C-alpha cells in the first residue's frame, strides 16, 4: 500500500498532494485507505500549487460551490507559498528526480517544511519523506 509511513496522528506535518485530495473527495476505493492518513488541519501544509490544481479540478468536476468549500478548508491549514526558495529547490528536484513542475513544487514544499508527503502519484514512489498509497485496478 505505502512505502515509508509515519503515524499521521503524531505532531509531524503532512503535505497532502492533489492526487490524494481528489481520491479522498471522490469517495473512491482509496478513500478508506486515505481517511486514517489524512492529517488534522493543524498538521496539514498546503502548497499554493495544490490549491490551484484542486480549484481547477473541483470547478470542472464538482462546480464552483464545492470548489469554494474545499479551498476554504485548505485556507485553514498551513499555506506554503511558492516563493524563491521553494522555486529553486523545485528546480533542483526536477533535475534530480525528473519530476514535472507541479510535482517538483509540491515535493520542494514538503522537504522545506519538514513534512511528510501523502500521495497517490506513482512519480513519488520511493522518495524520502513520502507516504505513497498505490492506486489499484
Give the tens place of pLDDT for each residue, 65-99.
999 999 999 999 999 999 999 999 999 999 999 99
Q: Return the beta strands (E) in the chain as ranges.
A: 14-16, 44-47, 78-80, 116-119, 130-132
Q: Report pTM.
A: 0.90
Pick the CATH number of 14-132 from 3.20.20.70, 1.10.10.10, 3.40.50.2300, 3.40.50.1010: 3.40.50.1010
Q: Provide the grid cell at 120.
A: 497517490
Give the tens place of pLDDT for each residue, 28-73.
889 999 999 999 999 999 999 999 999 999 999 999 999 999 999 9
CA angle (121, 124, 125) in 5-degree steps: 95
- The ranges assigned to domains in the chain are 14-132
Whether the CB-CB separation of 133 and 30 falls below 8 Å is answered with yes
Amino acid at each position: 500500500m505505502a512505502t515509508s509511513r509515519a503515524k499521521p496522528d503524531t505532531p509531524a506535518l503532512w503535505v497532502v498532494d492533489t492526487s490524494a485530495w481528489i481520491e479522498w473527495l471522490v469517495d473512491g476505493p482509496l478513500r478508506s485507505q486515505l481517511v486514517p492518513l489524512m492529517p488534522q488541519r493543524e498538521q496539514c501544509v498546503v502548497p499554493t500549487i495544490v490549491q490551484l490544481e484542486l480549484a481547477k479540478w473541483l470547478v470542472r468536476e464538482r462546480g464552483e460551490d464545492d470548489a469554494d468549500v474545499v479551498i476554504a478548508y485548505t485556507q485553514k491549514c498551513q499555506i506554503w507559498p511558492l516563493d524563491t526558495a521553494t522555486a529553486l529547490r523545485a528546480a533542483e528536484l526536477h533535475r534530480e528526480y525528473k519530476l514535472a513542475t507541479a510535482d517538483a513544487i509540491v515535493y520542494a514544499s514538503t522537504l522545506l517544511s519538514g513534512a511528510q508527503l501523502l500521495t497517490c502519484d506513482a512519480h513519488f514512489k520511493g522518495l524520502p519523506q513520502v507516504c505513497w498509497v498505490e492506486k489499484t485496478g
